[in-house]
């Protein structure tokens, strides 16, 4: 009896969640059809009507018309703490020119609506037989998908920066030892260096310095945006050297040697982990086959004789 009542409670919760999603869907549909009137200042703050806006993922480009209509309502939410967190993540991903925090939340709402709708359109067309009770699952996944995607972009970008860092630091060292100051060396890296996220970060640092920021503050901001140990240590050493009046060339040369040593040690560590990880597929897939080949004939001979 209690089990039946428990199932009924679950069914009621699922039904209530489905009705809530239907209400959100109707709200979004009304927003898409009717739209909202906003001032030019509000549109600029939210990122609406920005010309040349392109998104790095095709699925975001598909969902953007829905997100654009939801955006005016999202802009009224009192979620300043969450906006700051998302703004930091967007900066770490190097997508400041692509997303505003409000735009990103609008995408979350749009995905929470569009993903279940798309799945059940395919379900109807292909006859997959999915139950309507899966709607909450797809809606929750749609809500979290943009965050998962953004975390993946940040991780990929950080790995690229780690790979670029030894070469960029070497170029900075050569420029400083050739007689340039550190700002001039950064300008040469931006001008002559290979295209990549670390070069774009130095370009941002130069822009902030031109706008009046202290060089140490601009470098600290870069370290906060990238948020990896190697860059934070590099920035800390540079700021300390500038404060103490130490020769920047010597500091950069020491940092270059340290970064290469750390990269070599990290490669050795990954190699050791790979040797350990390969034991699992060997034990599951290779060793049983070897045992069958070796002991199979002996066992068959014992069973059947001859």
Give me the mean pLDDT over the 150-172 stretch: 89
Write the DSSP string, the chain: -HHHHHHHHHHHHHHHHHHHHHHHHHHHHHHHHH-----HHHHHHHTTT-TT---SSHHHHHHHHHHHHHHHHHTT---HHHHHHHHHHHHHTT-TTT--HHHHHHHHHHHHHHHHHHHHHHHHHHT----GGGHHHHHHHHHHHHHHHHHHHHHHHHHHHHHHHHHHHHHHHHHHHTT--HHHHHHHHHHHSPSSHHHHHHHHHHHHHHTT--HHHHHHHHHHHH--HHHHHHHHHHHHHHHHT--HHHHHHHHHHHHHHHHHHHHHHHHHHHHHHTHHHIIIIIHHHHHHHHHHHHHHHHHH--
**Residue 133: is its pLDDT beyond 60?**
yes
**Domain limit, last residue, from 134, 158, 182:** 158
Mean pLDDT estimate for the chain: 79
Q: In the numeric block, which tokens belong to residue 62?
A: 């598909």
Q: What is the pLDDT of residue 38?
A: 44
Torsion of CA 181, 95, 228, 232, to 10 degrees: 30
The C-alpha angle 44, 48, 105, rounded to 5 degrees, equals 105
Confidence of residue 12 (pLDDT cuts 50, 70, 90): low
Any idea what the CATH number is for the domain that residue 244 is in?
1.20.81
- 267 or 200, which is more confident: 200
Q: CB of 265 within 8 A of CB of 229?
A: no
| pLDDT class of 256 with cuts at 50, 70, 90 | confident
Looking at residue 193, its pLDDT comes to 79
274 and 229 part of one domain: no
- Same-domain pairing of 62 and 192: no
Residue 174 confidence (pLDDT): 87
Q: Are residues 115 and 48 part of one domain? A: yes
Residues 178 and 213 in one domain: yes
| Whether residue 46 is found in the same domain as residue 140 | yes
Same domain? 172 vs 153 = no
* Confidence at residue 150, expressed as pLDDT on a 0 to 100 scale: 93
| The predicted structure's pLDDT at residue 144 | 93
- Average pLDDT for 99-128: 84
Tell me the angle at which helices 182-192 and 197-210 cross, rounded to the nearest 10 degrees.
Answer: 130
pLDDT tens per residue, range 66-94: 888 888 777 777 778 888 888 889 988 88
Closest CA to 24 of 104, 119, 135: 135
78 lies in the same domain as 196: no
Last residue of one domain, picked from the residues 97, 131, 158: 158
Domain residue limits at 231 = 162-257
pLDDT attached to residue 34: 45
According to the per-residue pLDDT averaged within each range, which of 2-6, 190-194, 214-218, 287-291 is highest? 214-218
Task: Tell me what the mean pLDDT of segment 251-255 comes to.
Answer: 83
Burial of 274 by CB count in 10 Å (0-12 exposed, 13-18 middle, 19+ buried)? exposed
- CA 200 – CA 190 distance, rounded (Å): 7
- pLDDT score for 295: 84
pLDDT of 42 reads: 47
First to last CA, the chain: 63
| pLDDT tops 60 at residue 232 | yes
Per-residue pLDDT, 154: 93
Query: Which of 23-32, 45-54, 178-187, 261-270 is modeled with the greatest confidence?
Result: 178-187
How many structural domains does the chain have? 3
Instruction: Return the percentage of the chain with pLDDT > 70, whole number.
Output: 82
pLDDT at 125: 75
Is there a single domain that holds both residue 151 and residue 7? yes
- Torsions phi, psi of 225, nearest 5? -65, -45
Lowest mean pLDDT among 57-61, 169-173, 302-306: 302-306
- CA 234 – CA 251 distance, rounded (Å): 10
Measured distance CA(108)–CA(91) in Å, rounded: 18
Please give the Cα distance from 34 to 49 (Å, whole number). 17
pLDDT band at 189 (very low <50, low <70, confident <90, very high): confident
Higher-confidence residue of 32 and 175: namely: 175
What is the pLDDT at residue 26? 57
Distance CA 122, CA 115 (A): 11
User: Is 0.85 topped by the overall pTM?
Assistant: no
Q: Is residue 166 domain-shared with residue 154, that is, in the same domain?
A: no
- Decide if 32 contacts 73 (C-beta within 8 A): no
Q: Do the Cβ atoms of 105 and 73 come closer than 8 Å?
A: no
pLDDT digits (tens, 9 = 90+) for 31-64: 544 444 444 344 444 444 444 567 778 888 888 8
Are 124 and 182 found together in one domain? Answer: no
Average pLDDT over residues 125-131: 72
- Do residues 193 and 45 share a domain? no
Q: How many angstroms separate the CA atoms of 248 and 29, rounded?
A: 59
Distance CA 32, CA 30 (A): 5
Q: Are residues 119 and 171 in the same domain?
A: no
What confidence tier does 23 reach under pLDDT thresholds 50, 70, 90?
low
More confident residue, 266 or 156: 156
């Amino acid at each position: 009896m209690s089990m039946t009542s428990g199932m009924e409670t679950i069914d009621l919760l699922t039904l209530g969640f489905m009705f809530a999603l239907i209400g959100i869907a109707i709200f979004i549909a009304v927003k898409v059809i009717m739209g909202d009137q906003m001032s030019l200042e509000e549109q600029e703050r939210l990122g609406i009507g920005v010309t040349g806006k392109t998104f790095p993922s095709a699925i975001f480009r598909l969902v953007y018309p829905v997100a654009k209509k939801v955006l005016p309502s999202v802009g009224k939410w009192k979620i300043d703490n969450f906006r700051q967190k998302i703004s930091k993540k967007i900066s770490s991903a190097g997508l400041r020119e692509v997303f505003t925090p409000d735009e990103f939340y609008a995408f979350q709402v749009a995905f929470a609506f569009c993903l279940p709708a798309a799945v059940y359109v395919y379900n109807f067309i292909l006859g997959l037989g999915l139950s309507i009770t899966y709607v909450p699952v797809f809606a929750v996944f749609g809500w979290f998908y943009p965050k998962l995607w953004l975390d993946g972009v940040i991780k990929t970008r950080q790995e690229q920066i780690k790979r670029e860092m030894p070469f960029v630091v070497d170029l900075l060292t050569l420029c400083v030892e050739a007689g340039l100051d550190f700002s001039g060396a950064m300008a040469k890296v931006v001008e002559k260096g290979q295209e990549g996220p670390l070069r774009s970060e130095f370009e941002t640092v130069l822009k902030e310095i031109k706008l009046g920021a202290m060089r140490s503050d601009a470098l600290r901001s870069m370290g906060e945006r990238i948020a990896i140990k190697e860059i934070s240590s590099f920035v800390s050493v540079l700021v300390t050297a500038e404060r103490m009046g130490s020769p920047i060339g010597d500091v950069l040369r020491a940092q270059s040697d340290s970064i290469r040593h750390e990269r070599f040690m990290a490669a050795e560590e990954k190699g050791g982990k790979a040797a350990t990880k390969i034991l699992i597929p060997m034990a599951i897939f290779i060793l049983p086959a070897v045992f069958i080949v070796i002991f199979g004939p002996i066992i068959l001979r014992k069973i059947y004789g001859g």
